[in-house]
Each structure stands twice: as structure tokens, then as C-alpha cells.
Structure 1
């Protein structure tokens, strides 16, 4: 029985890789074609690509997605647990036109980087000093004024399910300088998705209680760390 389940997982995963990545090609080409023509249509294509990923996960991998106590509104900094590539792809479908803080090196990828920047990714340059921080905050405030939610992965990288890691120092700085409330979001994608042969099951997003702006660094980090690890098995 165990070998049979492994074989099913392998076959499902291979089918997922083939269908999702092949099917992504038209979305990528459409996004590149539209990003300097129509911002509304460009954002729609990115959102639909994220939706395509969600559909492939459901139909081919048997992965369902559940939301617990979801809260969606602008003017908020969403701090999301990061366990797998799943949630990085899922953000444009989970949120409406989110602005996502991402590693600056991702924006240097030819083609993809320009499209990501156009959509609203904000590069986090950890070695760039005060000038890079000012540029990042200026861009974030511009996006806030557009009524778009902000999303950050405060751990800075993917963390295996069952493990905790101290939040990146830059998270508290961004929280303080933007002066926004934070909604922490736990996610448990790792056991199903962060593996070569993915498994069927349910990935849950659990939205925590809103945390007000203006807290000291130690308190905001402790509260966010506890909340985003709420599903951490």
C-alpha cells in the first residue's frame, strides 16, 4: 500500500509539472506583451496565472486550500509564513493586486524581473543600506496610496514545517516606518508542497488578529512569530 501511494504521488507530481509549467508559457508571454500596454490587463493575467496554479494543485495534486478567519482589506501589512514555493505563487490569487516584498535578486532576472516590478514586487536589498531602504519605502507608500495590500514574508526565506527561525531584522523596520497594522498569516504548505513528489491534502491559511502599529520591536516580532507559526506542526 505504501509503494502504491508513493507511485501515485510521483505520477501526480510529474503530471503537475508538465501541465502547470507548459500552461504557464502563454501567461508569461501575455504578461510580457501587456505590461507596457495595459496595466489592468497585465495584472489580470498575473492573477489568472496564480489561479491556474491553484487549479492545477487541486485537479492534479489533490491539494485543497482552506482559509480560516480571512481578512482582506487595503492599508494593511500581511506577514505570511513561508514554507514552500506554493504561497509565493498563490499571493496574486489569494489577495487582490498585492504588493509583495521580495528578494532584490529576483527582480534582476531577465524578463521576469521587469514583469514582477511592474506588477508591484518591491525588492528588499539587504546590503543596500539607507539609500535602498528609502527607495523601498517610497515605492511601498506609493502602492499603499493606490489602495493595494502589502505582503511580506518576515522570515526572509522558506522555513521547513516544524521549525522556527528568528524574523529578519528588516521586518520590524518596515513595520515601524510604514506605520501600518499587521495581520499575521500562518500557512502549512511545507509537508504537501515543499518536496519533489508532492502529496494530496489540505493547505490552510490561518489569519491572525490584527496587530496595531507603533509597538516596540521586541513585541511586534514576538507576536508575529507566534501567530505565523500557529499551524506549524
Structure 2
């Protein structure tokens, strides 16, 4: 790629980033009255923003996004490969009632924190995730909260394509506590929207919902199966996009 082409792509990527983050405020404010009255308003605001981001990526960057498999609609845990912010956008935008576990401090972020709470996200203190999950389940069973899809990232952080990190055992604790099916999700999005930096690349970013893992498996069996589902399929999606696979281990 010539220097001119690279510079033009970088500038478009910078414009894209500025527009999508700036759009959070007007979209959030537009949906605030509905969100105050109903969680549906907060979910609609988030889904609208996700659709806008995917549309602008295609128009401005030549970055198409494809969701494969069947996004779940019932009460399930969604355990996903995490390569960049794009997989969050694509997964959340594909499920009807997604929610995340988030740091309690984010509750105090203007507009964003309140929208996240209305979406059903679960704020937690450090080291008290189990208690937060139990409280959420009690609220759902008592009819004071809506059921939905809890989205988690079993490796705990964003990882560049080709980098492998252990699957954290806390994932099995959440799976046991929820006693719900777990839907694994593979992706290749980090090839086009990296975890750091501004530059976005054209192509087709894919997230794929895989067949659900039933509830009730012993923790070691569940963890082994989850990794065996997500990692090979993510590698296959990256290979499909032309990425040479040489997996690098990380602690």
C-alpha cells in the first residue's frame, strides 16, 4: 500500500472513530424519555447505535460485518472470543436483551452509566461478582427484572489475533450459578478493527454464534468444551480472512 493510500485510510478511520463516539450522545438523549419509562428504550438506543456503527463502517471504511449462526433469544449465557470493541457491538446488536457485567464505577458515567443500568447491565464491586449474579437471578425470578442474555468474555480481556490466553475459571462459576445454556461465540474481528489504535481495515468481520452447551456440566468439562468450541472456530474464521495462524501464548 502506498503512503498516500495508507494516509487516506488512516484519516477515514479517524473520522469514523470520532463520528461513532460523538453519535452516542444524541442517540442516548433521543431515547432518554423512553428509557426512563422502560428498559425497552435503553435497549433500543443501544441497538440503534450498533446498527449505525455497522452501517458507517461499511459506507466509510469498506468494512462489512457478518453475523453467522443463530443469535439466542432466551435466557442464556453468551461466552465470546474478544478481539476488539467491534465484537461487543456485533454481539450485543444481535441479541434481544443483552447485558454485561461492568465495573461499578461506570454507573457514575454521564448518560452512558444510566443507559447501561437500564439495559440490564450488572454493576459489580471488585471480587464480588458472584454476589451480583445471585442478586440478578433473584430479581429475574421475582419478576422485578427482565430475563436476557448475559454476555461474558472467558479470557477476560481483548486479545490480538493469533494470541492465546487461558480461559478464566470464573466463567465456570457464572455458568454454574446461572444454570443456563451457554452459547459460545467465535470471531475474526480483530483483523479489521484492532484492540488498539485508530486504523480500521476493509474486509468482512465475522462473529459466529455456535451451538449451545447445555447447563449442568462439571466445571472442568464445561471449560474444556468451551475452549474447544471457540478457539478452533475463531482460527478458522481468521484463516478464511487470510490471516496466517501462528498462535502466541500469553499468561
* Normalised-by-shorter TM-score class: 0.7 to 0.9
What is the CA–CA distance in structure 1 between the aligned matches of 2:200 and 2:12, rounded to whole Å? Answer: 8
Offset of 1:130 from its aligned partner?
A: 5.6
Extract unaligned runs of 5+ from structure 2. Answer: 236-244, 246-251
Deviation, structure 1 residue 6: 1.4
- Secondary structure of 2:36's aligned partner: coil
Gaps of 5+ in 1: none
Q: Structure 1 residue 187 and structure 2 residue 187: aligned?
A: yes
Question: By how many angstroms is 1:213 displaced?
Answer: 0.9
Q: How does 1:105-116 map to 2 (within 5 A)?
A: 105-116=105-116
Q: Call closer, same or farther: CA 1:220–1:188 in 2, change over 3 Å.
A: same
- Report if the CA contact (8 A) 1:31-1:46 is conserved: no
Query: Any conservation in 2 of the 1:99–1:151 contact (CA below 8 Å)?
Result: yes
Say how many residue pairs are matched: 233
Q: TM-score, normalised by structure 1?
A: 0.87
Q: What residue is the counterpart of 2:79 in the other structure? A: 79
Q: Does the Cα contact within 8 Å between 1:61 and 1:200 map onto a contact in 2?
A: yes
SS in 2 for 1:193: coil
Contact 1:31 1:115 in 2 (8 A): no
CA spacing shift, 1:142–1:71, aligned 2, 3 Å: farther
- Alignment pair present for 1:28 and 2:28: yes
Partner of 2:234: 231
Q: Deviation of residue 145 (structure 1)?
A: 7.4
Deviations 1:18-49 (CA, angstroms, capped at 9, x unpaired): 33233332112224443223433332222111
1:129 CA drift (Å): 6.7
> What secondary structure sits across from 1:183 in the alignment?
strand
Computed over aligned residues only, the root mean square deviation of the Cα atoms, in angstroms, reads: 2.5
The question of whether the paired residues in 1 share the 8 Å contact of 2:130 and 2:174 is answered with: no
TM-score, structure 2 as length reference: 0.81
- Once residues 107 and 26 of structure 1 are traced to their aligned partners in structure 2, the CA distance between those partners, rounded to angstroms, is 19
Deviations 1:149-186 (A, max 9, x none): 23222222212211121223221111011111111000
1:56 corresponds to 2:56: yes
The answer (yes or no) to whether the contact 2:74–2:148 under 8 Å persists in 1 is yes
After TM superposition, the structure 1 = structure 2 runs for residues 166-185 of structure 1, keeping only pairs within 5 Å, are 166-185=166-185
Rounded Cα–Cα distance in structure 2 between residues aligned with 1:130 and 1:38: 27
Change (3 A) 1:46 1:207: closer
Change beyond 3 A, Cα 1:95–1:22: same
